[in-house]
Amino acid sequence: MNRLAYVSMTGAKASTEQLAVTSNNLANGLTPGFKEVISAFRAVPLRGDGEPFQGNGADTRVFAIDTTPGSNFTAGSVQTTGNPLDVVIKGDGFFAVRRPDGQETYTRNGKFMVDENGTLKVGRDIPVVGTGGLITIPPNATIQIAEDGAVYTQLPGTQFLNQAGKIKLVNPNPNSLQRAEDGFFDLPGTQAPPDATVRVAQGAFEGSNVNPTLAMVQMIDQSRLFDLNFR
> pLDDT tens digit string along 119-132?
999 988 999 999 99
pLDDT of amino acid 70: 85
Whether the CB-CB separation of 171 and 194 falls below 8 Å is answered with no
* Number of independent structural domains in the chain: 2
Q: Give 9's contacts (C-beta < 8 A, 6+ positions apart).
A: 229
Report pLDDT digits (tens) over 133-170.
999 999 999 999 999 999 999 999 998 999 999 999 99
Same domain, 63 and 88: no
Question: The whole model's pTM is what?
Answer: 0.79
Same domain, 197 and 90: yes
Same domain, 218 and 199: no
Question: What is the residue range of 62's domain?
Answer: 3-73+210-228
Nearest-10 crossing angle of helices 212-228, 3-27? 160
Q: Length of the chain in residues, anyone?
A: 231
Helix (H, G, I), strand (E, B) or coil at 3: helix
Same domain, 96 and 197: yes
Same domain, 28 and 66: yes
Report pLDDT digits (tens) over 52-76.
555 555 455 555 555 557 899 999 9
Same domain, 93 and 186: yes
Same domain, 144 and 179: yes
Same domain, 175 and 222: no
Phi-psi region of 86 (alpha: psi -120 to 50; beta: other; left: phi over 0): beta
Same domain, 154 and 98: yes
H or E stretch at 94: strand 94-98
